[in-house]
Amino acid sequence: MRIYPTLELQNGRCVTLDKGRLDNALIWHVDPVETARGWAAAGAEWMHLTDFDSIEGRDTNAELVEEIIRTAEIPVQLAGGMRSREQVEHWIDKGAGRIVIGTLAARDPNLVKELAKFHPDQIVLAVDVWQGAVMSDGWRHQSAFTPEAFIDAFADTPFAAIVVTDIDSDMEDVEAQLGLISGLAKHSRTPVIASGIVRTADDISRLAYIPNIAGALVGRALFRKTIDLSDALEVARTAHEPVAQFQ
């Protein structure tokens, strides 16, 4: 299982949100560029980056996002405000390793299928779930899709992964999150990345034993220091190693 240390940007600052509320961000007083470099130095193979300003239709963080992509020394999985083919391909051209798409997939599924086929292993589907339905537009609008139906609509699409977020229980009810994410991972043919569930190393251990879970986004826990990135990477790496039997 792969750990994706996660940066979320708003107005050039690292933040985390409570259930996606953009007007109530918790600010972390760290340098985003240096933080990304530090994650690479700690052994991360990928990182995840969400631009909340882009979700709002602003390019406030564009230069900063470019700098992170250029200097992080690990591939960047980029999310936030990908509303058109031009935006997706712009960031692929800028060097993003993967692009995460949610709202555009709900609005124009055929375009997203084309993008996934044209950019193999670079397009990731976001499935953000609230009260049993897929949300779009920065978690503001409830679609007509159940998460299972949404995943089924893209069953033959060559996505790199599917990122699943349970908005209902966001960081509050890990058991409920594990139930939703394990069910969707079983339902999906595409590997699933769990979002918003890791608080401690124990959560990584539990995720690692769910079939078809390929990774986890870890952000708030790193900034709160409830988990160290090196420890998280080690737990994910060794989760399935055989244990010697006592004689």
Q: Does the pLDDT at position 64 exceed 70?
A: yes
Q: Does the pLDDT at position 20 exceed 70?
A: no
* Backbone CA torsion sign across 47, 52, 53, 56: positive
Of 70-84, 144-158, 164-178, minimum mean pLDDT range: 164-178
> Of residues 51, 53, 128, 170, which has the active-site annotation?
128
Q: Does the pLDDT at position 127 exceed 60?
A: yes
Residue at 145 is within a domain: yes
120-124 long-range contacts, Cβ below 8 Å, gap at least 24? 120/158, 121/158, 121/160, 122/92, 122/96, 122/97, 122/98, 122/160, 123/88, 123/98, 123/99, 123/159, 123/160, 124/77, 124/79, 124/98, 124/99, 124/100, 124/159, 124/160, 124/161, 124/162, 124/163, 124/193
Residue at 246 is within a domain: no
> What mean pLDDT do residues 122-151 have?
89
Residue at 23 is within a domain: yes
State percent of the chain over pLDDT 90.
75
Residue at 69 is within a domain: yes
Residue at 139 is within a domain: yes
- Confirm whether 8 is a catalytic residue: yes
- pTM assigned to the model: 0.92
Q: Whole-angstrom Cα distance, residue 218 to residue 139?
A: 19
On the CB side of 8, CA atoms within 13 Å amount to 22
- Confirm whether 34 is a catalytic residue: no
Looking at residue 244, its pLDDT comes to: 45
Place 243 in a pLDDT band, splitting at 50, 70 and 90. very low
> What mean pLDDT do residues 148-167 have?
95
Of 75-89, 91-105, 159-173, minimum mean pLDDT range: 159-173
Amino acid letter, 121: D
> What mean pLDDT do residues 25-32 have?
90
State percent of the chain over pLDDT 70.
90
Q: Does the pLDDT at position 246 exceed 60?
A: no
User: Which CATH number characterizes residue 119's domain?
Assistant: 3.20.20.70
Looking at residue 140, its pLDDT comes to: 77
Residue at 244 is within a domain: no
Domain that holds residue 180: 2-238
Residue at 173 is within a domain: yes
Alpha helices in 42-96 (DSSP H): 52-55, 62-71, 85-93
Amino acid letter, 96: A
Q: What is the mean pLDDT of the chain?
A: 90
* Overall domain count for the chain: 1
